Chain A
Amino acid sequence: MFKTPTELKYAKTHEWVKEEDGLCVIGLTDFAQDALGDIVFVNLPEVGDEVTSGESFSDVESVKAVSDIYSPVTGTIAEVNEELLDNPALINEDCYNAWLIKVNDVTDSEELLDSEAYQEVCASEA
């Protein structure tokens, strides 16, 4: 059973979303980090870049795979978690604290799932 904290919202593409100080914080879920295996690098976008709901804004590398990360919202990147550049393993160790980006000026969002509904998505894909 994968961890899915109830205070977060989830995208079907395995990103978590949370509101914090008017910003939209995005990270990878426990299911995603488990499926990816040991993450060795995160290609982060730049502050000021636009993200679009449903489109890829970054990718993460494991030893022999690379996977896109999709943005559940449309907006402008206000912050990126640069700590991940030096220590991508944080995503494997503590994925719900290892946020990727914080988005400002959110104009659009895909329909997000709550913890329970997302558990079902995970169960169907496992």
Chain B
Amino acid sequence: MKLLFELSKDNRRLNLIPPCDVEQVQLDERHLRKEKLNLPQLSEVDLSRHYTELAKQAHGVNDGFYPLGSCTMKYNPRIDEEVAAHPNFLGLHPTQPIETVQGALEVLYQSKQLLCEITGMDDMSFQPAAGAHGEYAGLLLIRKYHQARNDEERVNIIVPDSAHGTNPASATMAGFKVINVPSNSEGGVDIEELKKVVGKDTAGLMLTNPNTLGLFDPNILEITEIIHEAGGLCYYDGANMNAIMGRVRPGDMGFDCIHLNLHKTFATPHGGGGPGSGPVGCKDFLKDFLPKPTVEKDSNGYHFETPKDSMGQVRSYYGNFDVVVKALTYIKSLGKEGIKEASGNAVLNANYMMNKLKKYYDVAYDQICMHEFVLTLEGLKHETGVSAMDIAKGLLDYGIHPPTMYFPLIVHEALMLEPTETESKETLDEACDVFIELHKMAHENPEHLHTAPHKCLIARPNEVDAARNPILRYVFKND
């Protein structure tokens, strides 16, 4: 398919902007651009068809089943989009007089209250723009807290070996040293190993629970207590919150601060990789360190405040505001029972699927899982030569988005499936049938899977070549 630049024809254009009706100003020549600006020159119909064609080559939740583990690809309700597209949200300048943005502040305030109740936190900032950004802000909270107590020798953040890659990366960015702690044979944190690594240098622990294996750690209360006793704080990575919302709260498990992924748990769309929203929440004793500004309410209405010992800002303004509008609409729709029903069914769907598949595939940890589960195809690969990658690519021919592959790192030949609550039993049954068929194919015709997909627009791309000889832009012929 052609690129925008290959469709371009000189002097083709849309008529979008009227001519200027005041005197044209000529800036000093020394400021002016001399280099040619190679942007495409197209008609509106060229553009419309180009993107319609590109859309056909994208796979969204609306296109079909998307069991991408750890990403919570649930259906994104249309009403959320419609509400967020209201001109009274989109047309607001971020520094308008406060009395003219009371609705926007109400959105942030209500969202804060609802999400604090759902997570068991006391305060929240919506500034972080994505999950990893929220982690960074949360870790800076922890850093500020220890600094404020002149407890600066606390430089270690403990991270289990099953953690998302963002956890250790965020900890380093926030100036901490990462201490990895291994998992035990049941997939949880190894308590004895944890006890060995905590001490006066422990700043905190970063944990997802349920963890990346899809398992709820039964020792969670003991784990958070060990950290607290050592003087550290507990950080909850909210990536897997969809399994437990309305049922267990991070705040009640002993966590002191959290981030949420509104683009996972609270149904805002992923947009092909953002924009997301990663609010950071905390218990009362940490709220003075939150990013600025936070939204408060008094008899005159809503206003912004700067927390007393704020960590500062992690980006401009108040975060991805319009994404928060979508999440608020979603939470209001679900309400107290809906939230609980969503998490319960997310977990039910995962267990139902795991139970059907485990007759054919090895489950990494065979026990009741939460919202996702991990298969290990090590045995299958040994037996047939068919890898997790081959099965994933095979799924593409059936219109199913593959599960997360080769993660978590502690499971070999891993496929991680998260069906979410917005899929029906029929969809799960059909997907299981496809998985079973692929399992059969692995034994009968492995070559077909090695070369899969066969029905997609492209065959497997050469990623080695892409990385060895990076071509990261189109080069114009006249250059």
Chain A residues within CB distance 8 Å of chain B: 38, 40-41, 61, 63-64, 88-89
Shortest distance between the CB of A15 and any CB in chain B (Å): 22
A-B contact count (CB 8 A): 14
Residues from chain B with Cβ under 8 Å of A40 in the complex: 464, 467-468
Q: Shortest 4 CB-CB distances between A and B: which pairs? A: A40-B467, A38-B464, A63-B463, A40-B468
Interface size on B, residues (CB 8 A): 5
Nearest-neighbor residue (CB-CB) of A61 within chain B: B467
B75 at the A interface (CB under 8 A):
no
Residues from chain B with Cβ under 8 Å of A89 in the complex: 468
Sample (14) of A-B pairs whose CB atoms are under 8 Å apart: A38-B464, A38-B468, A40-B464, A40-B467, A40-B468, A41-B467, A41-B468, A61-B467, A63-B463, A63-B464, A63-B467, A64-B406, A88-B468, A89-B468
Nearest-neighbor residue (CB-CB) of A89 within chain B: B468
Shortest distance between the CB of B77 and any CB in chain A (Å): 34
Please report the C-alpha to C-alpha distance between residue A89 and residue B467 in the assembled complex, in whole angstroms: 11
Beyond contacts A38-B464, A63-B464: 12 other A-B pairs, Cβ-Cβ < 8 A, are A38-B468, A40-B464, A40-B467, A40-B468, A41-B467, A41-B468, A61-B467, A63-B463, A63-B467, A64-B406, A88-B468, A89-B468
Q: Name the prevailing secondary structure of the B interface residues.
A: helix
Please report the C-alpha to C-alpha distance between residue A64 and residue B468 in the assembled complex, in whole angstroms: 13
Among A38, A41, A61, A89, max chain B CB count under 10 A is at A38
Residues B65-95 near A (CB distance < 8 A): none
Residues from chain B with Cβ under 8 Å of A61 in the complex: 467
Among A64, A88, A89, max chain B CB count under 10 A is at A64
Residues from chain B with Cβ under 8 Å of A63 in the complex: 463-464, 467
Please report the C-alpha to C-alpha distance between residue A40 and residue B464 in the assembled complex, in whole angstroms: 6
Residues from chain B with Cβ under 8 Å of A64 in the complex: 406
Please report the C-alpha to C-alpha distance between residue A11 and residue B467 in the assembled complex, in whole angstroms: 29
Chain B residues within CB distance 8 Å of chain A: 406, 463-464, 467-468
Residues from chain A with Cβ under 8 Å of B467 in the complex: 40-41, 61, 63
Nearest-neighbor residue (CB-CB) of A38 within chain B: B464
Please report the C-alpha to C-alpha distance between residue A61 and residue B464 in the assembled complex, in whole angstroms: 10
Residues from chain B with Cβ under 8 Å of A41 in the complex: 467-468
Please report the C-alpha to C-alpha distance between residue A88 and residue B467 in the assembled complex, in whole angstroms: 11
Please report the C-alpha to C-alpha distance between residue A88 and residue B468 in the assembled complex, in whole angstroms: 8
Residues from chain A with Cβ under 8 Å of B463 in the complex: 63
Please report the C-alpha to C-alpha distance between residue A38 and residue B463 in the assembled complex, in whole angstroms: 10
Shortest distance between the CB of A92 and any CB in chain B (Å): 10
Shortest distance between the CB of A14 and any CB in chain B (Å): 20
Please report the C-alpha to C-alpha distance between residue A63 and residue B463 in the assembled complex, in whole angstroms: 7
Shortest distance between the CB of B456 and any CB in chain A (Å): 19
Please report the C-alpha to C-alpha distance between residue A64 and residue B467 in the assembled complex, in whole angstroms: 10
Please report the C-alpha to C-alpha distance between residue A38 and residue B467 in the assembled complex, in whole angstroms: 10
Please report the C-alpha to C-alpha distance between residue A41 and residue B464 in the assembled complex, in whole angstroms: 10
Residues from chain B with Cβ under 8 Å of A88 in the complex: 468
Please report the C-alpha to C-alpha distance between residue A34 and residue B94 in the assembled complex, in whole angstroms: 55
Please report the C-alpha to C-alpha distance between residue A64 and residue B388 in the assembled complex, in whole angstroms: 14
Nearest-neighbor residue (CB-CB) of B468 within chain A: A40
Please report the C-alpha to C-alpha distance between residue A63 and residue B468 in the assembled complex, in whole angstroms: 9
Please report the C-alpha to C-alpha distance between residue A89 and residue B464 in the assembled complex, in whole angstroms: 10
Residues from chain A with Cβ under 8 Å of B464 in the complex: 38, 40, 63
Please report the C-alpha to C-alpha distance between residue A89 and residue B465 in the assembled complex, in whole angstroms: 10
Please report the C-alpha to C-alpha distance between residue A67 and residue B468 in the assembled complex, in whole angstroms: 16
Shortest distance between the CB of A34 and any CB in chain B (Å): 15
Please report the C-alpha to C-alpha distance between residue A88 and residue B470 in the assembled complex, in whole angstroms: 13
Shortest distance between the CB of B346 and any CB in chain A (Å): 28
Nearest-neighbor residue (CB-CB) of B406 within chain A: A64
Please report the C-alpha to C-alpha distance between residue A14 and residue B463 in the assembled complex, in whole angstroms: 26
Nearest-neighbor residue (CB-CB) of B409 within chain A: A65
Nearest-neighbor residue (CB-CB) of A37 within chain B: B464
Among A40, A61, A88, max chain B CB count under 10 A is at A40
Please report the C-alpha to C-alpha distance between residue A64 and residue B464 in the assembled complex, in whole angstroms: 10
Nearest-neighbor residue (CB-CB) of A64 within chain B: B406
Residues from chain A with Cβ under 8 Å of B406 in the complex: 64
Please report the C-alpha to C-alpha distance between residue A63 and residue B411 in the assembled complex, in whole angstroms: 19
Please report the C-alpha to C-alpha distance between residue A124 and residue B190 in the assembled complex, in whole angstroms: 27
Shortest distance between the CB of B410 and any CB in chain A (Å): 15
